[in-house]
Chain A
Amino acid sequence: MTRIRAVIFSIVLTALASAVLASGKWQPLKDDGLHDPSNPAIDVLQEPGEALSVLVPDGAGNMVDWVQSLQQGLITPRPGLEGDSEPEIRDTTVLMKNTYPMFYVRFPHKPHTQWMSCTTCHDRIFLPQVDANPINMGRILEGKDCGLCHGAVSFPLTECNRCHNTDPANLAMEDAVAGEGVQ
């Protein structure tokens, strides 16, 4: 009897766990709390699950890794309306060291320039100059600086380690220069 109870318990628990996991994925449009299920467009619009389930999986936001999906060529978002302009890719990183007690932030230009033009950030959000931008988490949580996109559209602010990614104890030689944009 005890064994049967244990088996049933594990089945129910598995069902519960998979239900929680599945519900964390993509809701059908009619169930998302926004779309009006009686709207005829529901049958025409693409379902998020259809488009997103084929991309690189992730554990936050849209539950897909947008940067990896782009870099692996699963999606090729056009840089212009007509698709004839070429994006300007920049490969430098910027190391931000005023982050105690968190790890340093290494900002990679490359994935950002694969998603948007330089003018998206420069100069209207960030000055293209070392130490010229007083970024802090307070401002970011208010939706300023990085928080203009992160926490709204790009990966959310629950993912601390994706930005705070560099252990000060394991700095590469070239990072020794304070705040310098590193090639």
Chain B
Amino acid sequence: MKEWWGRMFTLFVVAALGPAVVAWAEYADVTINTRSEAEGVAPVIYPHWFHRIRFQCSVCHVDLDIKMGAGTTGITMEKLIDGQYCGACHNGNIAWSIDNCDLCHSGRPGLETGIKGGHETMGPGLY
């Protein structure tokens, strides 16, 4: 009997605390740390979900020439300030301007470049 209560208690603790300990990124979040930390800023997190609510895929991947493949486009701050890539929107006109460093450079230290979001993005894919 005591054993049974013990088991139920364990189950209850798992039920209550489980979601709090489990952490995973939103599907298709991209992390970029090809240069960030080496240059002394936090890694970049790019949320696909946020952007696809507002823009079609081809705006970035065709018109702005951002390659499909995390970290393969060769984005630098110089190019963004020059109005390329993210800088085509993040210029204070269409979206907030590029001097809001933290809004992109918001990743935990040591993040690897890649596409995240649970087991469904973790197949043998190239990303």
- Is this pair of chains taken from one and the same complex? yes
- Counting chain A residues whose Cβ lies within 8 A of the other chain, the interface size class is 35 or more
Q: Is A129 an interface residue (CB 8 A)?
A: no
Total A-B pairs, Cβ < 8 A? 168
- B49–A62 contact, CB under 8 A? yes
CB distance from B7 to the nearest CB of A (A): 9
Task: Indicate which residue in A34, A46, A79 contacts B31 across the interface (CB closer than 8 Å).
Answer: A34
- A78–B56 contact, CB under 8 A? yes
CA distance in complex: A178, B96 (Å): 51
Q: Is B79 an interface residue (CB 8 A)?
A: no
Query: A151 to chain B: which residues have CB within 8 Å?
Result: 120-121, 123, 125
CB distance from B127 to the nearest CB of A (A): 6
Asked, given contacts A46-B50, A61-B27, A141-B124, whether A19 binds B15 with beta carbons under 8 Å apart, the answer is yes
Q: Is A94 an interface residue (CB 8 A)?
A: no
- B106–A41 contact, CB under 8 A? yes
CA distance in complex: A144, B123 (Å): 13
Q: Is A39 an interface residue (CB 8 A)?
A: yes
CA distance in complex: A16, B11 (Å): 8
- B62–A23 contact, CB under 8 A? no
- A12–B25 contact, CB under 8 A? no
CA distance in complex: A31, B59 (Å): 30
- A142–B125 contact, CB under 8 A? yes
Query: B49 to chain A: which residues have CB within 8 Å?
Result: 48, 51-52, 62
- B106–A79 contact, CB under 8 A? no
Interface residues in B101-127 (C-beta closer than 8 Å to A): 102-103, 106-109, 111, 115-117, 120-121, 123-127
- B127–A39 contact, CB under 8 A? no
Q: Residue among A149, A153, A156 with the most chain B CB within 10 A?
A: A153
Q: Pull 17 A–B residue pairs with CB atoms less than 8 Å apart, ordered by A.
A: A19-B15, A19-B19, A27-B24, A31-B20, A40-B102, A60-B120, A62-B26, A62-B27, A62-B49, A77-B53, A77-B56, A78-B54, A115-B52, A120-B58, A149-B68, A151-B120, A153-B57
Known A-B contacts: A32-B24, A60-B120, A156-B121. Give 11 more (CB < 8 A).
A12-B15, A20-B18, A26-B26, A35-B106, A40-B102, A45-B103, A48-B49, A48-B50, A77-B54, A80-B59, A115-B52
Report which B residues bind A (CB closer than 8 A).
4, 8, 11-12, 14-16, 18-20, 22-29, 31, 42, 45, 47-50, 52-59, 61-63, 68-69, 88-89, 94, 100, 102-103, 106-109, 111, 115-117, 120-121, 123-127
Report which A residues bind B (CB closer than 8 A).
5, 8-9, 12-13, 15-16, 19-20, 22-23, 26-27, 31-36, 39-42, 44-46, 48, 51-52, 60-63, 66, 75, 77-81, 87, 114-117, 119-120, 141-144, 147-149, 151-153, 156-158
